[in-house]
């Protein structure tokens, strides 16, 4: 088998980046669900806004904003830090891009998760 790397480019759809970031955030204990990105009419034109993720790419780097609802008994600061670590890991290991800034917005605390 030839071990010479293939030439060409690889393109990752923005929806894939959103899904990876979302699944990584939801894997953290204490995160219940994503919250829609706030922002009125402009929100409708941003990819991923309804899924609680906002992305910005610059070359090989992906900056991420996540909007979350957490459990009422969760340590909010600890959950947010763990989300940052998991999303960074997922972007780097699964997608192969550099994780830029990762901003976590805790939009609500749910005292009665269903």
The residue extents of the domains of the chain are: 17-110
Three-class secondary structure of residue 23 per DSSP: helix
Q: What is the CATH number of domain 17-110?
A: 3.30.70.1350
CA 103 – CA 114 distance, rounded (Å): 26
The pLDDT mean for the chain works out to: 86
Task: List all residues 6 or more positions away from 112 whose beta carbon is below 8 Å from its beta carbon.
Answer: none
CA 67 – CA 48 distance, rounded (Å): 11
Confidence band of 1 (pLDDT split at 50, 70, 90): low
- Residue 69 pLDDT more than 80? yes
């Amino acid at each position: 088998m030839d071990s010479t790397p293939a030439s060409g480019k690889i393109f990752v759809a923005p929806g894939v980046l959103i899904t990876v970031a979302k699944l990584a955030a939801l894997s953290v204990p204490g995160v219940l669900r994503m919250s829609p990105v706030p922002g009125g009419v402009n929100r409708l034109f941003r990819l991923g806004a309804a899924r609680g993720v906002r992305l910005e790419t610059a070359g090989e780097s992906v900056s991420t904003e996540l909007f979350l609802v957490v459990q009422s008994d969760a340590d909010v600061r600890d959950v947010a830090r763990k989300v940052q670590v998991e999303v960074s890991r997922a972007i780097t290991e699964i997608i192969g891009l550099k994780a830029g800034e990762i901003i976590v917005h805790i939009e609500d605390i749910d005292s009665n998760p269903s």
